[in-house]
Structure formats: C-alpha cells, structure tokens
Amino acid sequence: MNRARESTPEVVVVSGASAGVGRAVAHAFAKRGAKVGLLARGASALEDVRREVEELGGTALVVRTDVADAAQVEAAAEAVEARFGPIDTWVNVAMSTVFAPLSEIDASEFERATRVTYLGTVHGTMSALKRMRTRDRGTVVQVGSALAYRAIPLQSAYCGAKFAVRGFTDSVRTELMHDKSKVRITMVQLPGVNTPQFSWCLSRLPDHPMPVPPIYEPEIPAEAVYFAAHHRRREIWVGYSAVGAIVGDRIAPRVADWYLAKKGFSSQQMPDRPVKPDRPYNLFEPVPAQAATHGIFDGKAKRRSPQLWANMHRNVVGGAVAAGAAAVVAGAALAKRT
C-alpha cells in the first residue's frame, strides 16, 4: 500500500478539477484532509471547487492550466510544491471530446481533443514523475474508460486518446519496474458517468449526447480513484458495464462491432431532444455556466456499484466465497456419512 507521509496531509494534484469526475475526485481527497492542487482552465469554476474542498476539510490551491500545454502543466506542478510541499499523488482526469462521425470532425478539432485527453495525461505524468522518481515514492492515477478497450462510434477522438493513454501507461509502468522504482502508476477504467461533458462537448449529432447506459454518478469513480491511489492495483474497473465491455470485447470483438454499428448511434443520444446549433462548447474555451460535479442525468444515474465494492473488498469477498465453499463441502460430507 502506498501512503502519504504520516506527519503531514497528503498532497494531491487533480487535472480537470473544475467539473465532473475531476471535481468529485477533489472532493474525495478533501474529505480525507488532503492538500489539493486544482488544475483546469476555468477560473470561476476552480474558485467554486476551492471553496468546496475547504468546506469538506481539505486545503486547495487553484492553478489555471491548459493541460495541452506542457509548460503550463510543469508550472502548475512547481506552484503546488511551492505551496504544499512534495506531491504524493497526481490524478490525470482532464479530457475533451467531439461527438460526431469522423467525416464531420475537422482536423483541428480532432487534434485539440487528442492534445487535451491524451497529451494532457502525458504532460501530467511527466511532471509528476520528474519529482516522484527522485524521491522514490508517489502515485500517478490515470482516469481511463472502458472505451480504452472497447471503442464505440461517434467518439473516435476520445476512444483513440484513451487507447493511447492505456498504452502509454503500460509502457511507463514497465520502465518503473525495470528501475525497481517505488513510484506507482495505475489506471481506473470508468463506465458511463453523469458529468457535464455531454452538455458542453462539441456535438454534431442531431440529438443531445448522453453516456451509454447504465450511467453512474461521479462520486463512484472518485472513490475508485482514491482507492487506487492508496492500494497496489494495476487497474481498477468500475461498474458491471465496464467489466462487460472490456471482457466482452476480448471474447467476441466482431459481435461487439456488429452490436455497436446497430445500436451505438441511438444509445448515445437523447431521443427528441435536438442540440441547439449555437450551443457553447468547451473544446477550445471553457464554458463556466456548465461547470458542475453532476450532469443532467441524476434521475437515471446509479449511486452505488456493488461490483466496485466487491473489487475494493476482494479479500472479504474471497473469504466469504471460500467459507461458503467449505460449508458446502462439509455439508456434502456429512450427508454422505448419514
């Protein structure tokens, strides 16, 4: 288990902290008294998160940062350490996307989504490891997606970036292992989550985009991220749907291709809710009015994940299964004697 220094609160950096999963992750660490560096582009949203973190018992530092710019990320890391001291945990959450068929995406839009979602993660990891490797301690948590294993239509930029993050993370992990480093890098693969991204992403779909159901509230992956930061897990999969997508693609990828070609367009759109052509989007500039922890799907979102609980408590689950199996064997033996 990787723990922060016992004598002082944990120092954490969260990119994409102004909304959605990133904001929920900041809350999760704040509840445990952490000092949290909040990275995102939107100044007003970051100030809101700062107040929330401090109300929850943490300490926060706002650092306006475009993670697509490596120099800005490095400057943010320097600012956090100047204020709080050595960084214990770095969580890469920042993302951006375009909902559209590839034929309707401009090259500049695809590049921007890739720079934020993929290169933003690379930049954060570089700045984190630059500091952690010299101290031989610390954890980097990449917030991924089931879409890092099973790509779906209408999100080619996002899926491509998440696949790239997974490959990048696996590569860096082996380098750390080769060096016998105590620094850890882990990845949390998410299901569909109720975040504002569906209300502020660039979309060229006829109807309002939505996560592929089932949808989970962002507090669920936030707890998975906190757990991943403090336990030795290579990856954590969140929700039965993420497990099903990842495992199903390994078993029958052509079946998944066929199903997504048939259902993948409709399952990512809210029927009869057209997208306004002048809707603001955050691909190039932040949209302060939409910054929040939750999106518009509270009425449909799950607030618990038995699968994640079982994953986080697998020793308990394993013990219960073993005890149950032993009871069955003992009962069978007793029945045989009688």
Alpha helices in 1-42 (DSSP H): 20-30
User: Residues with Cβ < 8 Å from 290, sequence gap 6 or more?
Assistant: 19, 196, 199, 200, 280, 282
Pairing of strands 215-216, 59-64: unpaired
What gap in Å lies between CA 131 and CA 123, rounded to an integer?
13
Q: Which of 118, 158, 226, 281 is catalytic?
A: 158
Cis peptide bond prior to 214, omega within 30° of 0 = yes
- Token digits for 36? 């949290």
Active site residue 259: no
- Among residues 95, 101, 122, 110, which one has the least CA distance to residue 21? 95
- Among residues 245, 130, 240, 146, which one has the least CA distance to residue 187? 146
3-state SS, residue 42: coil
The catalytic site residues sit at: 158
